[in-house]
Every structure is written in C-alpha cells, then in structure tokens.
Amino acid sequence: MKHQAVHELTSNGKNQVLVQHKSLKLVLLFSLSTLVLVTVFIPIIFSSTSTTYYYSILFQNINSIPPSNSYNITTTTTTTNLSSSSSSSSSTSNISSSSTYKKKHCDIFTGDWVPNPEAPYYTNETCWVIHEHQNCIKYGRPDTEFMKWRWKPDGCELPIFDPAQFLELVSGKSMAFVGDSVSRNQMQSLICLLSRVEYPKDVSYTQDDRFKRYIYTTYNFTMATFWTPYLVKSSESDANRPVDIGYYNLYVDEFDEAWTTQIEEFDYVIISAGHWFFRPLVVYEKGQLVGCHYCLKDNVKDLDLVMYHGYRKAFRTAFKAINSLKNYKGVTYLRTFAPSHFDGVWNRGANCVRTKPFRSNETHLEGQQLEFYLTQVQEFREAEREGRKKGLKFRLLDTTKAMLMRPDGHPSRYGHWPQQNVTLSNDCVHWCLPGPIDSLNDFLLEMLKNEPLISAEEEEKKKMGYSNIDRKFFLVKKY
C-alpha cells in the first residue's frame, strides 16, 4: 500500500507538471494570437485615419504632449429601464434611480464644413461694428456662398450660436479679447451675433479703437478688446515709414502692460496672436539684441529662427504674465492660430480667390504656419501646468484646422473700393463679416456651456492623480 501510494503520488505529480506545461503553452499561444490580432488584423479592418489613431492610442506615451484636439464636449446619454420599454434621452432631469449614465466625449475641433442655407444670422446693415475692410458685401463681393456653411464635428453636432443662451451664461461676468486685429475681428463677430438680442453700450476709457470696452446693460456683461499684436512689449522703429518697410522692436521677455495691468478683473480672457510675427522685426531679450527677421540691418543676423524664437518667447512671457497676477481667477483661452491664405507673397500682389471651403483631406498645415501652431500649443501646455498649481484654468480653443479649411472667407479685394490706395490690397488675413469667423463663437459658446463638466472632470482626475494633459486618453473618439 505504501509503495502504491508513493507510485500514485508520483504519477499525479507528473500529471500536474504535464498539465502545467500544457497550460503555459496555451497561455503563450493565446497571448501571441492576441498580439497578432491587435497589431495586424484589426488595423486592416479600419480605415487609414482610424488606423493611425488606433496605433497612437496603443503605443503613444501617456505623458507626451497630446495632439491638438484635446478639448472635447461631453454629452450625457441617459437610459432608463422601464417595465415595457427602454428609452434614451439627452436630458438628465427627473431621472429615476434605475437610470444608467454613459458619458460620450466628442472632439468638436475635428470635422468638416457643411452647407447651412439658413445663414447668415445678421447682415452688414444690421451690425454697426463691422470695420470697412471686413465689409465684403458693401464693397461688391459677388458671391454669397462663403456665408452659408457651418462646422460639423465628426461624430456629433456643434450647435449654431444662440445669442440668448450666451448672454445668460455670461450674465454678471466679463470677457477680454487679447491680441491682434484678428482677435478684434472675433469680438466684432460676437457683437454682431449678439445684436439679435441686445446692442451693447460703448463704455471705453479711450477714443483709441484698439482698446474698446462694451457693456450689455440688461445682463451686466462686459466685453473688451486689448490691442497687442506681439503679446509682449514692442515699439515701432519709425512710425512714418510704410508698414511693409519699417520694422518693430520686440522685447520678448517684457510684459506689455497695456493689457497685463488690465485683465485681472476679467472672468474670461481669450488670447491669440500670430500674423504680425511675419513682418520685419528686431528681437531683444534681457536687454540684448538677439537678431532680426527681414530687417535688412547691417551686422545683424537675419534668420527665420529669430522669428520662431521671438514667437515662442512672446507666448511664454504672455502666459507668465497671466500666471503671475495675484488676484486673477478667470479662465484663460488660447484661440489657436488662424492661418492666412495668400497664394504668394502677401505684399507682392498675392490673393485668395477660392469660393468654397476645403474638405478635411484636401489641405493640411505646413511650413511656418505649422511651426507657429505647434509652438503656441506647447507653450500653452506648460502655462497650463504652472497655472494649475495656483488653481487657474486654461482652455484650448483649437480652431486652427477649421479656419485652415476656409480660404474663401477673406475679404481679398472686397475690403475697399478699387481706386483706393491701401497697404493690403488683397486681404487674406482678416475675415468677412458675416463669414467663417462667426463659427469661432460657436466653438466658444460650446466650451462655455461645458465648462462645469470640464472643471468637474479635472477635479475628478486630480483626485485620481492624473494631470490635465492625460485627458486625451480618457476619451472615446469615433471615425
């Protein structure tokens, strides 16, 4: 019996070893099959765009800077189990305890332009704030299709701007547009869109059109614009020289106090800049001459690298100014670079004559404009990290791709009479009003509506130990 028991124990041990070896082989075989399935067969099923995104999620380092489409809207789908049927609703009110909630994130900055026959929602005759060089209809632009498009994100809808809803959201608050003339262009668009509900009262402290302030008395909402084409301290070398010959001195590590001393009181600050950096400029840092861009000065290095360095340092200094404000508690938005669409050199007769938008697969950022976009987003991310330490909120109004696809929306030669002598004979920088720039405020309103959700999500992730730049990897993206 003893030998039999030992024999059975030995046999069982051998069997167990064999089973373990077989199990290990099965596990290895299953793991290898899964890896092949995940990395080879699934991507083949998806489209090329989908495959690119699939690999980016599978292999991208979660701590790297995310792509541009990091800010998303959140819709809540509510499913309630009833005795006879199941229903879905976008409303979250009066939900029973048996309801389940599913969060769906949608990247509102990736999509295409689609026809919108109901547009425009104001005219050059109903909105008095339109500047002459943006008044394309007044100056004889023959086509009107450029006004009849709306932005359609992939996988969801971006609602058309609702002026009453906007004014209710910002009631008792204030908003500042900080930047160049394209920044002012967006504010003028916003005033025109809101004119269907109320006209503002001009309460500007100065007669200078570059620094305007308005109040919507019914809603106690203040809106202001601060002219700062370089975001930092600058001076014109010779104000009497033509703008395409003269240059600007740029002090990239010094605050432009024309706006940095004024924004502490504002609830929302929308910052943007770009096009002035293509002009002739001389860059100074720490009181020393760094170099220049297209300045034609003797014994001064004239390089594109100087322009890129100036651009990066300007945004870094601007964000530093915001983060250094003691009493500022507002939300800072970076409205990303809005590309121009010159078909050549801007001051040598170049034009923009296209009359329809590009499709998303017909154009892409490249060259200097791509470098500008990447630079400002990188500086934004760093400022966001620093600002978070003080409890400040930074948001990316990432509209570059959408505006890149609208070469049809500029005044071109329809911003003045043909016989007028103007510096920019064909304007492919600013935007017609009404026109594509109105959609920037569609984006803005959607982000304002979702601010409570975005803030709550950030707080939740903060408790979990995640940073804001991880947000991309918690989203569901559809193609």
Average pLDDT, consecutive stretches of 10 residues, N- to C-terminus, the chain (479 residues)? 42 44 53 52 42 34 37 44 34 31 73 97 95 94 96 96 98 98 97 98 93 97 98 84 71 98 97 94 94 84 88 98 97 97 83 95 94 97 96 97 98 87 83 98 97 84 61 32
Residue of 180, 256, 427, 438 with catalytic role:
427
Give the model's pLDDT for residue 473. Answer: 30
Distance of CA 422 to the CA centre of its chain: 32
Q: Does a structural domain hold residue 326?
A: yes
Of 174, 181, 340, 412, the active-site residue reads: 181
Is pTM beyond 0.85? Reply is no
| Structural domain of 123 | 112-452
Residue 427: active-site member:
yes
55, part of any domain: no
pLDDT of residue 16: 45
Determine the pLDDT at residue 456. 85
**For the chain, how many structural domains are there in total?**
1
**Does any domain span residue 476?**
no
Q: Does 470 fall in a domain?
A: no
Angle at 203 between CA 202 and CA 208, to 5 degrees: 80
pLDDT at residue number 19: 42
Dist CA 286 CA 255 (whole Å): 12
Element containing residue 449 per DSSP (H, E)? helix 438-464
User: pLDDT at position 358, please?
Assistant: 97
Taking the C-alpha atoms of residue 65 and residue 69, their distance in angstroms, rounded to an integer, is: 11
Active site includes 275?
A: no
- Establish if 96 belongs to a structural domain: no
* Residues 387, 384: Cα–Cα separation, whole Å: 5
> CB under 8 Å to 225, separation ≥6 — which residues?
176, 177, 178, 183, 184, 187, 210, 211, 212, 213
Q: Residue 45: inside a domain, yes or no?
A: no
Q: Is residue 350 part of a domain?
A: yes
Please identify which of the residues 107, 183, 430, 439 carries the catalytic annotation.
430
The reply to whether 160 falls in a domain is yes
